[in-house]
Amino acid sequence: MSDTSTETYLRKPWGSSVRIEDDLWRLRLKNPVGSLLVNTFVYRHRDTLAVIDPGWPWEVQLLEDALSDLGFGGIKAVTHWLYTHSHVDHMGAAVLLQRRSEAPHMIWPWVEPELERWHHYQDRVNDWTPWVEAAFAEPQRSQILKERTGRSAGGARMLELFGPGALTHTRRYEVGETVKVGALRLELLDARGHDPSHLALWEPSRRWLFSGDLLLAMPSPLSRAMGDDLTLYEESLQRIARLPAELLLTGHGTHQRGEDIARAVARSRDQVASLDLNLRQALSPAPTDLYTLALKMAGGKALEPVSRWWVQIANTDTHLQRMVVRGEAELVEDARGPLYRGRG
Ligand SMILES: [Zn+2]
């Protein structure tokens, strides 16, 4: 069953699917408004049809097409909506799906305060303008803000596209609880860091780990704008490293098996460690702004594509803030904005 040769890949008008195990499929729906593809997992066992991370809000019809085309009976046949975290590419479609499906949406205490105003919440965490104002110094701050006007404030468009939305058809679980889904027993593990509500779903008898955006090929974005936390992220990596996982199912990119899982965890740890080291080397006794530091760390040239460059800057800022808290860097409030200098 774990033999990769049994994996069947299909390319379709709505995207692609891979049958990873007898009862588990990975869908990648086409993203009509951007380039980032999300892994949506479908588990089918007898009357159970569970969907984990159903994708972007503008992909609901594509999900409908996929679930029909694959013979699952469409969205109305879904029995469980499950999530790894609250971000728009994973849980942003929840209210829209609620309008088409009678199945409950899994929720947990960390997302609970936002459910009543779900689309407001999505727009708020995707609006990075307050962060740009707080994190950058002039002249970059004004330049970045100017470039952003007229655009949808960093992806904050849920209200504009879909109006307000409340997620009400829910089933509440505690972190640490086990969710029964068909023959699966999914333990909800604390995987905070990349999102203050991030979980990992762990199936101990199958040894499957749904890790959301905890382990990605690129560094997991950690942004102050979205309430992310580097220390929690490191703790989550440690927690996940102890699991005897045999199948790693990530929110983006390819699933991994066996030894490759430990490599994926090590890669994420190395990404954190090397950014920390680069930042320490880039800091100097002369106060420097965030943008200049990030540029220096990237060898003087912005990274491509631009999304990768933004992740790099956001992660640099997250590391910087922790160094300031720990007394390893000094924040200098300058007329231009926040500047930083190394300590020792
Ligand atoms: Zn994601």
Cα-to-centroid distance, 93 and ligand 1 (Å): 13
Select the CATH number that applies to the domain covering 4-342 from these four: 3.60.15.10, 1.10.287.110, 1.10.10.60, 3.40.50.12780.
3.60.15.10
Q: What is the pLDDT of residue 1?
A: 44
Question: In 234-265, which positions are buried (b, 16+ CB within 10 angstroms) versus exposed (e)?
Answer: eebbeebeebebebbbbbbeebbeeeebeebb
What angle is formed at CA 212 by the lines to CA 94 and CA 233, rounded to 5 degrees?
A: 120
Closest Cα to residue 296, out of 308, 307, 312, 273? 312
Arithmetic mean of pLDDT over the chain: 93
CB 182 within 8 A of CB 48: yes
CB 181 within 8 A of CB 108: no
Cα-to-centroid distance, 328 and ligand 1 (Å): 31
Cα-to-centroid distance, 86 and ligand 1 (Å): 9
Residue 151 has pLDDT above 60, yes or no: no
State the Cα torsion 11-213-181-57 to the nearest 10°: -60
CB 42 within 8 A of CB 54: no
Cα-to-centroid distance, 58 and ligand 1 (Å): 15
Reported confidence tier of residue 226, pLDDT bands at 50, 70, 90:
confident
Cα-to-centroid distance, 46 and ligand 1 (Å): 29
Q: Would you kindly state where each structural domain of the chain is located, as residue ranges?
A: 4-342
Cα-to-centroid distance, 335 and ligand 1 (Å): 36
Maximum distance among all Cα pairs of the chain, rounded to whole angstroms: 65
DSSP symbols for 304-332: SSHHHHHHHHHHHHHHHHHHHHTTSEEEE
Q: What is the pLDDT of residue 149?
A: 60
Residue 17 bridge partners (DSSP):
10, 27
- CB under 5 Å of ion ligand 1: residues: 89, 213, 251
Cα-to-centroid distance, 125 and ligand 1 (Å): 13
Model pLDDT for residues 50-101, shown as the tens digit of each residue: 999 999 999 999 999 999 999 999 999 999 999 999 999 999 999 999 999 9
Reported confidence tier of residue 155, pLDDT bands at 50, 70, 90:
low
Cα-to-centroid distance, 268 and ligand 1 (Å): 15
Reported confidence tier of residue 157, pLDDT bands at 50, 70, 90:
confident
Of 307 and 49, the structure prediction assigns the larger pLDDT to 49
Cα-to-centroid distance, 280 and ligand 1 (Å): 28
- Burial class from Cβ neighbours inside 10 Å (0-12, 13-18, 19+) for residue 147 reads exposed
Distance CA(240)–CA(238), nearest Å, equals 5
Cα-to-centroid distance, 38 and ligand 1 (Å): 6
Residue type, 256: Q
Counting residues of the chain whose pLDDT is more than 70, the rounded percentage is 96
Counting residues of the chain whose pLDDT is more than 90, the rounded percentage is 85
Cα-to-centroid distance, 219 and ligand 1 (Å): 12
Q: What is the mean pLDDT of residues 199-212?
A: 98
Q: What is the mean pLDDT of residues 4-20?
A: 87
| Neighbouring C-beta atoms of residue 307, cutoff 10 Å | 14
Cα-to-centroid distance, 344 and ligand 1 (Å): 37
Cα-to-centroid distance, 221 and ligand 1 (Å): 9
Q: What is the pLDDT of residue 33?
A: 87
Model pLDDT for residues 229-258, shown as the tens digit of each residue: 999 999 999 999 999 999 999 999 999 999
Residue 202 has pLDDT above 50, yes or no: yes
